[in-house]
Structure 1
Amino acid sequence: DQRLGAEGGAGAQLQQALSLAKITLAAEQLGVASEALDLAVAYTLEREQFGRAIASYQAVKHKAADMKLKVEVARSSVYYAACVASEVLAEDGDERIAAELDEAAAMAKGYCSDTVFFNAGNALQLFGGVGFTAEYDIQLYFKRAKASELYLGNGAVQREQIAAMLLDGESA
């Protein structure tokens, strides 16, 4: 009497729960990636080398711009996945959109997994050697980025799942 639906029918509900978990994790990864960028920018604005803030150097600006670009694309993927999830979970939701949930979740998780590790790694580089010390929180963001990147499948695994969804039913 504690089953998820009819006997043998729990697979769809479990898959939906996994997709929702991926979207939730992707949103967390977006927050970590965004905060890693903010921490790096704040540090580079205060850290001086050769009489000026290191944020004024072109190479640092380019790295920060790449990080910002990835955050904004990740934000779009999370928003899209959240909208699909909202439609699926609505009482009067469209049944046709339920098929998009797995794909949207995999896209968001895949891109956010890549983004969070990229941003945390670059932020750690911008902090230099002090980034690994307990004095700065960026080391915690880096560790969280690596752990969340692997949880529920990294970017490569998500892209494989998307490819399988798109190619399902086609002969090779």
Structure 2
Amino acid sequence: MLRESVRALAEAKIAPSAAAVDEEARFPQEARDALEANDLHAVHVPEEFGGAGGDALAAVIVIEEVARVCASSSLIPAVNKLGSLPVMLSGSKELKEKYLRPLAEARAMFSYCLSEPDAGSDAAGMKTKAVRDGDHYVLNGVKRWITNAGVSDYYTVMAVTDPSKRSRGISAFVVEKDDEGVSFGAPEKKLGIKGSPTREVYLDNVRIPADRMIGEEGTGFATAMRTLDHTRITIAAQALGIAQGALDYAVGYVKEREQFGRPIADFQGVQFMLADMAMKVETARQMTYAAAGRSEREEKDLTFFGAAAKCFASDAAMEVTTDAVQLLGGYGYTRDYPLERMMRDAKITQIYEGTNQIQRVVMAKQLLK
């Protein structure tokens, strides 16, 4: 039921503008409006705070079906979850009420600020600082690769509160777009997901109340890593949706495209390619859904499954979209067809929320514990 309704909405309201959003590198406001009007922009927010109370699998299905037609648009529900999940996991009830309710009621969007110019895979090497000043903290630093920066109203920011403790000296805060001293860099000129703005976030003597700290001082890095255990699954869902969209389009094309007097779908070489693509998509789906179940139950092997699902699904998406372009031949290489966009969009799923090389490190560490 959920899948059917999201797919219908995505095809009617989001798909028609997907190519223009990519071509013009503009935020998909049409998608945001449609998702918010149907309470699909942040299904993970608990009912207690005005949300739909959707479980991890519901969030996965929403992201998957939106990504099937437009990867950029799927980052609206995905990043709303990424940015707000630290508040859900570690925030006080007062903080949850203050920030989750506006998100649920479509009055705000959330982003997540972990990476920095010199702290990517080594996130614990961050330099952004938060210094206590009475009942406030003063933040200074630069965050890079921030999805939906400038559009989102709220930002979960990781900052160093005790430089002597490395990861245990990092704390998490909610920063608001309108806080004095917050500004944004120019949008990055990216290969894909062009409709989702990626910008630096500048924090210049940003003074915020101390009660905007998420959890206790020094627990921010642990919260950040726990968040990624859950939200890597949303990237798996995005990759899965992109791959499914490419497979669906390729299947339709080969049935209609004729060469040598018959549809190219009749040729065994094409059939073998489609079979391999479908196997990868379905395997990715099973891994992603299995990881979502573990996310919902907070199982001990979530770290492994979240990393594995993200890694496998994104690798599969890159392979499937590449093969889909190949099946269309020269047409697949043009912007008149959606597959080259899907191929470009798939690439980022192998990179963000931890590169797939980092995912393999994470998995190996879990196996060797």
Normalising TM by the smaller chain, what interval?
A: 0.7 to 0.9
1:109 offset after TM fit, Å?
Answer: 0.3
1:12 offset after TM fit, Å?
Answer: 2.4
Choose between structure 1 and 2 for higher RCO, CA contacts under 8 A separated by at least 6 residues.
Answer: 1
Partner of 1:157: 358
Secondary structure of the 1:152 match is: coil
Partner of 1:92: none
What is the CA deviation profile of residues 91-141 of structure 1, one whole-angstrom value per residue up to 9, with x for unaligned ones?
Answer: xxxxxx2x3221111010010011000000000100111112121111111
| TM-score, structure 2 normalization | 0.42
Partner of 2:237: 27
What is the CA deviation profile of residues 54-77 of structure 1, one whole-angstrom value per residue up to 9, with x for unaligned ones?
Answer: 111000000000001011110111
Specify the code of the residue in structure 2 equivalent to 1:38.
D
Distance in 2 (CA, whole Å) between partners of 1:163 and 1:72 is 24
Secondary structure of the 1:55 match is: helix
Distance in 1 (CA, whole Å) between partners of 2:322 and 2:303 is 28
What is the CA deviation profile of residues 75-95 of structure 1, one whole-angstrom value per residue up to 9, with x for unaligned ones?
Answer: 11111111011112xxxxxxx
Specify the code of the residue in structure 1 equivalent to 2:247.
L
Secondary structure of the 1:149 match is: coil
Distance in 1 (CA, whole Å) between partners of 2:344 and 2:334 is 12
| TM-score, structure 1 normalization | 0.87
* 8 A contact 1:30–1:112 mirrored in 2: yes
1:27 offset after TM fit, Å?
Answer: 0.5
* Bigger shift: residues 113-122 or 155-164: 155-164
Partner of 1:115: 316
* 8 A contact 1:16–1:101 mirrored in 2: no
- Out of 271, 293, 297, the residue aligned to residue 83 of structure 1 is 293
Secondary structure of the 1:150 match is: coil
Secondary structure of the 2:349 match is: helix
- Out of 262, 282, 293, the residue aligned to residue 52 of structure 1 is 262
* 8 A contact 1:44–1:54 mirrored in 2: yes
* 8 A contact 1:81–1:105 mirrored in 2: yes
- Tell me, which stretches of 5 or more residues in structure 2 are unaligned? 1-210
- Tell me, which stretches of 5 or more residues in structure 1 are unaligned? 89-96
Secondary structure of the 1:26 match is: helix
Structure 1 position 11 matched with structure 2 position 228:
no
Partner of 2:329: 128
- Out of 282, 288, 311, the residue aligned to residue 72 of structure 1 is 282
Identify the structure with the greater helix proportion.
1
Specify the code of the residue in structure 1 equivalent to 2:261.
G
1:156 offset after TM fit, Å?
Answer: 3.2
What is the CA deviation profile of residues 18-63 of structure 1, one whole-angstrom value per residue up to 9, with x for unaligned ones?
Answer: 1222111111111111111111111111111000011110000000
Partner of 1:148: 349
Specify the code of the residue in structure 1 equivalent to 2:236.
A
Identify the structure with the greater strand proportion.
2
Structure 1 position 2 matched with structure 2 position 212:
yes
* Structure 1 runs of 4+ with >6 Å offset: none
Distance in 2 (CA, whole Å) between partners of 1:139 and 1:130 is 9
> What's the C-alpha RMSD, in Å, of the aligned pairs?
1.3
* 8 A contact 1:30–1:71 mirrored in 2: yes
- Out of 81, 97, 104, the residue aligned to residue 305 of structure 2 is 104
Q: Which has the larger radius of gyration?
A: 2
Aligned residues: 159
Distance in 1 (CA, whole Å) between partners of 2:232 and 2:219 is 21
Distance in 2 (CA, whole Å) between partners of 1:67 and 1:133 is 21
Specify the code of the residue in structure 2 equivalent to 1:142.
M
